[in-house]
Chains A and B, each alone.
Chain A
Amino acid sequence: MTALELDGVHTYYGESHILQGLSLSVEAGEIVALVGRNGVGKTTTLRTALGLTPPREGTVRFDGTDVTGMEPHEIAARGMGWVPEERRVFSHLTVAENLRVAAHSAADPDARIAEAYELFPALDRFADKEAGDLSGGQQQMLAIARGMVGDNDLLLVDEPSEGLAPQIVEDVVEALRAASADTTMVLVEQNFRLAMDLADRFYLVDHGVVVEEGETAGVTSDDERIRRYLTA
């Protein structure tokens, strides 16, 4: 079953034409990576899917339902979660409150939060600490956990490794693997190796359209069809 489908999507920021007829589909249960240079429209693709930057043309379908033009909270309520770039947590809420706010749509919020603590023991230790006081890696864990606790069927993860130390990145990768066990995932990631390592399939985006796609197995950044779109 197709979890997410973008068909001929055109998205603008003011007069800037960012997505220029982008199409992609994500099957339930898989991890799909969006790769490409900075500024080609990867984050905008996630924002378009979630309704934060609605498309002017094209359609977005989520679990078979046309969600084009729906409000973000309506789309989120249908089970689409977001782990935003730069580890943006609600910094003046405690860790527990961050999770509680995100778990409001879950059938059993307490159970989901307990699962998140089990997966991320550090968060349990700092449950009463304000999220803004956590380290970068801990904030990223919290952002991922927040995306998980809402009973989401699909998680949009934006640049999870950005600005993190290599050791912390490994922990984040493990967390994402754990999160993907029961959630479909769309991953935007600058680190090509990491993206290929995590994802089942990839879409290579350039100038607001998909220029390459395929299985990730065996793909490296030295591949000529990839390299010319990743280098400036």
Chain B
Amino acid sequence: MDRKTYPTSETVDFIVVGSGSAGGIVARELALAGNSVVIMEQGPRLDAHEFEHDELKYRQLSGITNNPATNPQTFRRSENETAVRRNSMTYARVVGGSSSHFNANFWRLHEIDFIERSVWGPIEGADLVDWPITYADLEPYYCKVEWEVGVSGLAGASPFASFHSKPYPMPPLPIKSSGVLFERGARKLGLHPFPSPMAINSILYKGRPPCIQCGLCGGFACEVKSKSSSVWTVIPEAEASGNCEVRPNSYVFQIGMNAAGRATGVHYFDGDKVEQFQRARAVVVCANGAETPKLLLNSATNSQPEGLANSSDMVGRNLMCNKGGGAAARFEHPLNEYKGANVTMMLHDWYNADPARGFYGGGGYTARSGGPLTWGQSVPEGTPTWGPGFKDYLESYTHWMNCAGHGTSLAQPNNRIDIDPELKDDWGVPAMRVTLKDHPDDLKHAQFMIDRAVEIMDAAGAVQIEPGEVGAANGGVHLLGTCRMGNDPRTSVIDKYHRTHDVKNLFLCDGSSLPTSTRGQPTHTIEALAFRAGEHIARFARAGEI
């Protein structure tokens, strides 16, 4: 297929910055509505055969993620500290973005997620807010993700789920040994495990094959296109419209603005590190919860000296990464968790926060696996670190599984992305500075999750259980909340249609849009928001309201 291209001199209708979970969908919706669209992606475009089963490269060595050597960041725990060079925000830097390397857990939010401030009231030290939309507003778009992008699962299986107006289009993936054991232990405790909804094909769907069960999902891109990543799903559909160009190796570092306060396009470095400018009638930033605020803050103008769309001073604030806790467990017989999709069974019994626990926090659990190289880097306390005892441990690899808890993080204004005053990346772009510290309730909830995971694994018959430890927040891959949506321009960055309060033709849609952290699996919601945003932005374009 000949791919559409646009010269930089042409003023396209939309530039979408980022090609990941949100960017791909927004671009598809805008392109299918007849708008000319250019997607800017920092990283390269790789074909399926270029993705490898190389755990060293992908899980530990920034094979397709932001590289600390060229894209450095700084980190500190409070504004009183001097930040030190350390990358704490991780995201994929490739066409498809983080949808390329996600584990593909696709949980819907529940009705409670949207109204927790009303239910809980204020929480000291946190800025818990209601969403400006409800579950009912978003439900049709969850369906759209499930059917247009592709999600396997069993609707109705969880007694705790909010309503589904449609079933999943594909049955759940085969349950592997970790799922069977997890289900066994949880049911024994009176809990309600159910097959995990996953953005992975369980059958041939939309021209993509079912999962080959290679066992390498999280951190890897799918070389057979079974995982429903943007690069295999919505981006080809956007391109097939004839209205969309994907421009890889294009690093947007500033949004162009005119004297009237309108976005005029984007400044970016091409693959040769040569500065370019692409003109556009409107810009949609879907760069992720760390890069989006960085771009806005690096785009300050004389009239918006604190950064674009930042009259509220909320750009970059309320960073959330999802706190969690779990346990590893060894069983008598081999599970062979290196085979099969990483997650097949989960539960939501403790999804809702419960005042009786004495703290805020809720989440879910998955039974899951990890690759051998990552697993072999550490040993349980008391296990020899070398010699025959260490080897015995390595030889037990196929007997282990993880019971992983995925939970909430409270929004705190001091947890933020801003611009480091000194550090620049390899392109000379000022680097992001991350300030991140756990809320006390997040720590308590993490310990709660660990304790419950131990109980589940014990009930499942584990012969050895290694509880996780509650450590201090050190970053993550779920980058949320930094340009939150809301009705009040004084306390939020975008409105409920993802338009920035301050710049009429500038929209944001990605993890930064989320007012709360979700329960540890935000991508389904990010994609539902993207379908919704794309629909409304296209409507605004048709009505001349951009």
> A and B: partners?
no
